Structure 1
Amino acid sequence: MLKYWRSTSLRVALLFAVFFIIGAAFLASLLWWNTAGYLDRETDAVIAADTRAIGDRLRDFGLPGAVQMLQERVATAASPNADRRAIYLLTDPRLRPLAGNVDAWPLKIGAAPGWYEIELVHRDKLHATRMLHVVLPGNFQLLVGRDVQDRAQIRNLVLRSLAWSGIAMLILALAGGWLIRRAVLHRVEGINRTATAIRQGDLAQRLPQRGSDDEFDQLVVTINRMLDQIQQLVEGVRNVSNAIAHDLRTPLAETRARLEGLLRHADQGQEEIAAAIADIDRLIGVFNALLRLAELDSGLRRAGFQPLDPALLVEEAAELYTPFAEAKGISLDVHAVAGSSITGDRQLLAQAIGNLLDNAIKYTPQGGRIVVAATAEAITVADSGPGMTEEERGLAAQRFYRGDAARGAAGFGLGLSLVEAIARLHGGGLSLEDNAPGLRAVLKLA
């Protein structure tokens, strides 16, 4: 039972049931209060009118007139079609009955005049009554009342109905809470199974969706996107570790060999030292690029975002790289219309465009063509070089990946990784497409 009570869905269902019961009780109480109040006012008005009439008769005609009036009213109340709920009793100062339909003065009626609600034997049965005790001239005691047993029965009926309704609502709330708990647990169990599989190392697992677009599906979409990011980061770290061990081993071995050569040939030290410094600079460049990627993946550069015109960024980058393109006999065309606006980091976007242009110039043969275009949604760099196969395009953005065309070219395989990280920081991504011939790199912006 304790396990079920720990269920949030069951507690919520019970809480709503309690609120519903309280609301229903309040509504029933309000209806009863208004209905009972109306009946009480009507009853009190009839009793007060009878009391005044008997008092007036006593003052006008004396005790015989009052007794005669009471006898007439008792006789009328005893007729088959009359209202038999009326109660009358007139006594002398010693409470000895003079007239009425009550045999003796009720013990529950005190000596003080006023209103009383008592149980009284009326028509051979014990009934709830409402009575008015007044003292008439001559210290005669008058008791006028009405049988209100029917109102008491209505009250008991309402109270029993409320009690049974409350029990029924409580049972329905428990059943509803159990059903809600079962439905919620079914979804939660799926999340738990997936989380357990991910914790055990299967990062490709994703939470299941029902396609209902409810709150759970929206949460699942958010968590799956987070898992995609985590998987990408973990695989990136794994690939970086392997790539560092593979790609940095050669420059380190070359540096070590040169330093050993310095020990054997001191007269050739200057050239070897310069080559060793160049190798170390290459290593520093690799680690700087890795640190830059780590900074981009953490999202720390979002604080520097500002409104930018992508057309101006493209034109500035093209102006910077035009001399390199012309040196290889490559035409560099820009298609961008100023006026659109994006929000981003100027320095990072300029670096991303520069990396794409640098790759395009590097792999486009002499006499080729490069086209750069910019819109508010994307920046595109298309070349007429050898391009990439579909498999290579899927791997090109991985860190330290080097395609077949890049084996003999300078670089570390981090350029497109930086571009993708910059695009992801801006809410977009990097897409590599076939330009037939060549490669089209699309830097998508959010």
Structure 2
Amino acid sequence: MLKYWRSTSLRVALLFAVLFTIGAGLLAGLLWWNTAGYLDRETDAVIAADTRAIGDRLRDFGLPGAIQMLQERVAADAGPNADRRAIYLLTDPRLRPLAGNVDAWPLKIGAAPGWYEIELVHRDKLHATRMLHVVLPGSFQLLVGRDVQDRVQIRNLVLRSLAWSGLAMLALALAGGWLIRRAVLHRVEGINRTASAIRQGDLAQRLEQRDSDDEFDQLVATINHMLDQIQQLVEGVRNVSNAIAHDLRTPLAETRARLESLLRQGGQGGEEIAAAIADIDRLIGVFNALLRLAELDSGLRRAGFQPLDPALLVEEAVELYTPIAEAKGIDLEVEAPAGLSITGDRQLLAQAIGNLLDNAIKYTPAGGRIMVRATADAINVADSGPGMSEAERSRATQRFYRGDAARSAAGFGLGLSLVEAIARLHGGALSLEDNAPGLRAVLRFL
């Protein structure tokens, strides 16, 4: 659930739904104010006007005048053309009825003056009634009201309509938000697919434009221009590196051949000649590794991928390095269940596993232990050597980088760079973790 909530498109969709719902609520409130609210305000105004008229009659003509007015109002409401909605009751200070069309003071009307909405029996049915209780001069108690049963029914009808329309609006808002999320996510997924292909070495990939000239198209155009420049720069650096490697490898090979010829002829300086040949071999190895990295970065080797058994690859590599480990007194263990399958280049994966084993044996002290484990999505090589600090692990895959423990050992600082390039070519990654003690190298396949 947390993964989905982190989605920007989902949050945009929910925001759209919330704003749509708020707008619908404001519209419903305005509709209520102009319909049911208007009817309630109209009823309250009529009741208040009747109350003031009766109070004025009491002050001007005394109690007889007020009673006469109530009787006239009751008689008028009982006529053939009346709506029979008016409620009148005038009582003395002890709440004994003096005039009106209600037999007794309703129990639900409190002693405090004010507005009340109660139910009274009318034609053997309970009807909602809106009442105003006022105290007149002389402590006379006056109730004036209206039967608002039809208003209540209208109000309930409006409320039900608003509730159903609100649910419909919410459903439409969620549907609209989902459509927005789908549209945005579709464009983002296209960008992710292209970026993933570029990350794996296919620099010719470009983002798709729809000629809509919207914000996404403008972003895509900018990114594509940036990718064009990056491809030109990368190709330039790659071509220069390849040219340097090729141009220097040839004279080095010729120099090595001449030195070997001198060494075979004998004479003085044999040890120096042998050392010079070893140095040249190291330089040739560096250039070969750089050329291999350039080949991996170009993605050309991906065409030779085929289904492979990682257990078989691990067993072959361990068999090759077991004599070296035994000579150093290192216990080399394997855990590779059968039935696993991955897709990749057999030679490159074998080289990657060999590089990891070579590093593990090189830095594991005598009497140490190395565990090689193959799973459905990764190959682990864990040793009990000195390991690396977190800062060193973050830089270990950089080309020509050598940590403190590696400075006194033979090597070029390109082994882990090759392994990372091979992992990237296979859509995976190389991660270096603390084995406590030692280092755990994990070659993951995605």
TM-score by length of 2: 0.50
Rg larger in structure: 1
TM-score (norm 1): 0.50
